[in-house]
Structure 1
Amino acid sequence: MGGLDAIGNTPLVALDLGDQRGEVWVKVESANPTGSYKDRMALAMIEAAERDGRLQPGQTVVEYTGGSTGSSLAFVCAVKAYPLKIVSSDAFAVEKIRTMRAFGADVELIHSPGGITPQLIPAMVARARQIAEETGAFWTDQFNNTDMTDGYRRMGEEILEQVKTLDSFCAYVGTAGAFIGAARAIREKLPAVTRVAVEPAESAVLSGRAAGTHHIEGGGIGYWPPQLTRDDFDEVIAVPDAVAFAEARTAARRHGIFSGPSTGANLVAARQVAGRGQRVVTVQVDSGLKYLSGSLYA
């Protein structure tokens, strides 16, 4: 249906690592219509709810989001004619807020000048729940919605079609949907693949450390993602904010991979794993066009 048909089937490219051992391959998810792999999950959540009757024609949809999920939902809801109410925050890139509004979403912002704090995501969730209860809107509830995870299986299948074999899959964890969905699809065909979860060092909850404030959008939510279990990953790599930001800038200038800081974190972790002599696949989460007004490319 129109632009929705452009979701998925994104390229996979190899980076030139020079003399470094191993290989790093990058799934270029910025090729999706809103420049993010979140298009996959937004479409999956909406179409599953349509099929089983949870979402009725013309019903309002509501979600809490740092911006990429909201941009993708706004895109899908615009095409399918669903009003959309978004709860987000000024802690996230202004380009994402503007994109949601460009597609017609009603965006409510929670003030968080310090960045992505441990209190922010729970506050956004609570407000989205309140809106759903008061208005009867359909709440996609991305962290708990298994349709979201299923929506990323195709990404894993595409990786297998494109590279045939790999040693490790490495991805930043937010909702954990992309990580779980793609990794499960890959593991079904390649049971020996190592699954590496990536998180911010300043809020390394998966590593067993305390939640904290960080600036790598798209993850590091401050608590364990509801759908993620300890059986879903084999290793965790925590990447500091500054290192992720620097790697994102380097990737743009050296490899033409123009992205945000979560992709930078992915590339830091992927290089570390590739240094063991492995073929690693990671993900370009979204486009650097979403981050031009902030400090990343200032």
Structure 2
Amino acid sequence: MSAVAPAAAMPAPLPAAERSSGLPLVVLLLLPIVLVNAFGFLAPVFNLLRMSFYESQATGAMVEVYTFATWASVLRDSFYAELILNSILVSLGITLMTLVCSYPIALYLHRSSGTWRTILLVLVISPLLTSAVVRTYGWVAILSENGLVNNALGAIGIAPLKLMFNKTGVVIGLTEILMPYMILALLAGFGRLDPRVEEAASTLGAPPWKVFRHIVVPLTMPGIALGSLLCFVLAVSSFITPKLLGGGRVFLLATEIYDQAIVTLNWPLAATLSILVLVIFGGALVLYTRALRAIM
């Protein structure tokens, strides 16, 4: 006689009431964040989009008459095309400079341990406890014509450099201000970096520069992508530092939005430029998503 093995016991299906009870729970869990995004982000963006189609008068008044005149003037005027391109290029340059300055610090922090790591991490985070306005004025004192840098250059017989009221000052100031964000983003993306892989490559005879190029950099690409996205977005939307260090001579999207909204009171034009900034943010996010998929 052959014994037939009993069939594996299958779990009994959940009653319909229990299966459907999970849906309201999911809705309740998602409801707070949906409301926050709806009222804190989507509603203001929709209001900006609607405002961009209003008509602006010379007196600064805004008439709720829908027109494409503002969008047409922005898309046809070469000044705004140059403004957008200049903002993107300056922000990319700032992002690159921030990455180059922050990567060695983040890598050293990642490899540190104990009390020394804690002290270094506090030093990295401490600039975030100071307002960007205060830090920018600090750079004004350093980069001005009679500032610390030019006084030091004059003491050794070098002519003073033009470090303010141009793109140089804006890039220097924003690079320092954004470095803590880049370092923290890099540290968050260094999870795949295993020191044992570096040790194996060194044991097999790879020189340090090859280990860095072929192992360290590829494994830390998620952190590089995350930090670059964060710093690019912050650089494009930065206003205080370009306004103070640029002295009104560096035209970027954020400073132009402020001038149109506060100085000339052309709110439809300011709203239109704000929507274009959001489009740039969306494009950067799409590129980041594709780069992350390629990396992973």
Range into which the TM-score falls when normalised by the shorter chain: under 0.3
Which has more strand, going by share of residues?
1
More helix by share: 2
- What TM-score does the superposition give when structure 2 sets the normalisation length? 0.24
Return the TM-score normalized by structure 1: 0.24
Largest Rg, 1 or 2: 2
